[in-house]
Amino acid sequence: MPIFICPNCGDRSISTERTAGFKDRARACSKCGFGFLFELLDDYYPAPNAAFFLLDQQGRLIGTGRGARELTGLGDLDVIGRPVQDVLNLEFENDEDHVGTALEWGVRVLDKEVTVYAEGDRPESAKADIFPAYDDDGGLLLVLTPR
């Protein structure tokens, strides 16, 4: 059975269906009511202080979830529609682009060290977990856990 995670509240759920009812509409979170969930191939337990960011197929931020404001000081209105690299200035080891890899290949990227320079703020060391959306819309769930 597929396992889902809500980017807004971090709630994990299990369901046999990927959609709500007879429609192709994505499942919503039963705990907080957020509009869609991300499907995980394996169960995933984010840290309590993890920050959730939602990206579209072009790597633009379409929303923030739990912990984003605490890590970056930024909320939805500060980031929506902007490229993730412009907002978070993610610096991975060896100058790798794990966000680009996940978008291009549709693969999960887990446990990667990253430095976050949100809007030019002081650097924050974090661990990045990146999950592709398994639907026709594409996109990513980016989870940053401060170190």
Beta bridge partners of 60: 83
pLDDT in tens, 35-86: 878 888 777 888 889 999 999 999 999 989 889 999 888 888 889 999 999 9
Is-contact 110 129, C-beta < 8 A? yes
> Is the model's pLDDT at 144 over the cut of 90?
yes
pLDDT(31) > 70: yes
Q: How far is CA 65 from CA 27, 93, 100, 104, 144, in A?
A: 17, 25, 21, 23, 11
* Domain range enclosing 135: 3-146
* CATH code, domain with 75: 3.30.450.20
The predicted pLDDT at position 130 comes to 95
The larger pLDDT score, comparing residue 4 to residue 99, is at: 99
In angstroms, the CA 88 to CA 23 distance is 35
Q: How many independent structural domains does the chain possess?
A: 1
pLDDT tens-digit profile of 100-118? 999 999 899 999 999 999 8
